């Protein structure tokens, strides 16, 4: 019984992440619960007038039942896992996830995905709702690779924003996943559906029920950049990264202090630099209203200041706004902020061709096939 209490002392933080076999070894699990349960029932029948003792007995029986459930193995698990990004986790939960679920640690939802597959029987299946960003973010590359190699994927449906009727879930970008605990057969095909363009829950529901499913060869997903899971067909030609590099911009650490717009000065004073930012739609030139007090940021270096991408200063490239439809403009060789990414060709002769691609709808479609996050990462913008 002491082992049982030790096992569950962290239950408020861990819940069903508790793994009896892993935490306390096999000794307790090997004990027959058929023998333990009658013993607990016998203890329960004693000293019924002792309230505190009875409460303790009830808790003990509840813990014993929980151990049986948590150590069970199941044919089918269907659930909506808890969502909690790593930055919002307690120190204890962070440490536990790092130790036991290193590849999945960045969100509690992906930790539960890993945990639930251990609940399955060898032939079992798990169906769950979880954030869709683990399907494409670089931080989950190792987790995706392992899951694609060791589990059979059955269905992936990307819901995007507005997948829940409850308004408290506004802003969540979700996906439905059905995945089995055993490795995929050779040339296994799973099915996929993209409902991200539907605006309401009702539209998504109709699409899930009536739309034609895409068929995807699971092994081919490992050939995608960063093993990203793409439910639409994509080509396997040359990547943009072979012709250009995508750079991240400057962080001032204190915009109100270091940042202005050019019309606040007749002529920017010495120590100030022009700063390029985003545009709302594709245009040749735009986002050029800002200036920054670069000297004050660097002499001495201020807290929170990160000056990146000096390689782009004085060079012409393409400035990409990293939100939603990814509108672009030409970059003018000035510093730029972190809302913008600069695609700089290795060969300046390729700039016109890259501009034609990035300013077309083909670019947005290609990027959104592999990254549905609201703000796209720099790595994705050049398909690195």
Cβ atoms < 10 Å from Cβ of 152: 18
Question: In terms of CATH, what superfamily is 75-227?
Answer: Vaccinia Virus protein VP39 (3.40.50.150)
Beta bridge partner(s), residue 276: 336
Q: What is the 3-state secondary structure (H, E, C) of 233-258?
A: CCCCCCCHHHCEEEEECEECCCHHHH
Q: Find how far residue 351's CA is from the centre of its chain.
A: 32
Contact present, 287 and 319 (Cβ < 8 Å): yes
Give the whole-angstrom CA distance, residue 109 versus residue 113.
Answer: 6
Q: How far is CA 308 from CA 26, 221, 370, in A?
A: 52, 33, 26
Please report, in tens digits, the pLDDT of each residue of the chain (384 residues total): 566 666 677 778 888 888 876 655 555 555 545 556 666 666 666 556 666 666 666 666 777 777 778 888 999 999 989 999 999 999 999 999 999 999 999 999 999 999 999 999 999 999 999 999 999 888 999 999 999 999 999 999 988 887 777 666 566 788 999 999 998 888 899 999 988 888 888 888 898 898 888 899 999 899 887 888 988 766 666 788 889 999 999 999 999 999 999 988 877 678 899 999 999 999 999 999 999 999 999 999 899 989 999 999 999 999 999 887 899 999 999 999 999 999 999 999 999 999 999 999 888 888 877 776 666 776 666 654
Same fold, 75-227 and 240-381: no
User: Are β-strands 290-293 and 120-131 bridged in parallel, bridged antiparallel, or unpaired?
Assistant: unpaired
Give the whole-angstrom CA distance, residue 256 versus residue 264.
Answer: 13
Contact present, 317 and 344 (Cβ < 8 Å): yes
Fold of the domain spanning 240-381:
Adenine-n6-DNA-methyltransferase TaqI; Chain A, domain 2 (3.90.220)
pTM of the entire structure? 0.70
Rounded-to-10 torsion of CA 86, 90, 91, 97: -50
Lay out the sheet containing 244-248: strands in order across. Answer: 244-248, 340-345, 317-321, 328-331
For the chain, give every domain's residue range: 2-72, 75-227, 240-381
Give the whole-angstrom CA distance, residue 347 versus residue 316.
Answer: 11
């Amino acid at each position: 019984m002491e082992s049982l209490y030790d096992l569950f002392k962290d239950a408020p933080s861990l819940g069903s992440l508790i793994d009896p076999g892993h935490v306390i070894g096999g000794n307790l699990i090997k004990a027959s619960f058929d023998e333990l349960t009658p013993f607990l029932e016998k203890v329960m029948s004693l000293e019924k007038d002792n309230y505190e003792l009875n409460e303790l007995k009830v808790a003990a029986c509840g813990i014993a039942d929980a151990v049986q459930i948590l150590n069970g193995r199941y044919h089918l698990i269907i659930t909506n896992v808890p969502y909690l990004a790593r930055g919002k986790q307690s120190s204890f939960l962070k440490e536990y996830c790092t130790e036991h679920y290193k590849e999945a640690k960045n969100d509690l939802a992906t930790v539960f995905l890993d945990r639930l597959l251990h609940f399955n029987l060898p032939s079992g299946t798990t169906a769950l709702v979880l954030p869709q960003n683990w399907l494409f973010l670089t931080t989950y590359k190792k987790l995706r690779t392992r899951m694609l190699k060791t589990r059979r994927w059955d269905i992936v449906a990307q819901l995007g924003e507005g997948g829940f009727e409850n308004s408290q879930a506004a802003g969540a970008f979700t996906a439905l996943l059905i995945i089995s605990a055993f490795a995929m057969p050779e040339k296994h095909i799973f099915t996929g559906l993209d409902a991200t363009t539907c605006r309401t829950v009702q539209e998504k529901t109709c699409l899930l029920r009536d739309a034609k499913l895409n068929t995807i060869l699971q092994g081919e997903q490992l050939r995608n950049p960063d093993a990203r899971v793409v439910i639409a067909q994509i080509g396997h030609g040359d990547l943009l990264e072979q012709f250009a590099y995508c750079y991240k911009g400057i962080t001032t650490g204190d915009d109100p202090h270091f940042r202005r717009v050019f019309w606040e000065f007749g002529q920017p004073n010495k120590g100030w630099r022009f700063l390029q930012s985003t545009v709302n739609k594709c245009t040749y030139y735009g986002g050029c209203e800002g200036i920054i007090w670069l000297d004050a940021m660097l002499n001495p270096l201020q807290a929170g200041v990160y000056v990146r991408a000096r390689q782009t200063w004085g060079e012409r490239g393409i400035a990409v706004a990293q939100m939603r439809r990814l509108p672009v403009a030409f970059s003018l060789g000035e510093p730029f902020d972190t809302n913008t990414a600069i695609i700089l060709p290795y060969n300046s002769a390729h700039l016109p061709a890259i501009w034609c691609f990035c300013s077309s709808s083909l670019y947005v479609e290609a990027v959104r096939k592999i990254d549905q996050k609201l703000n796209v990462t720099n790595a994705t913008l050049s398909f690195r």
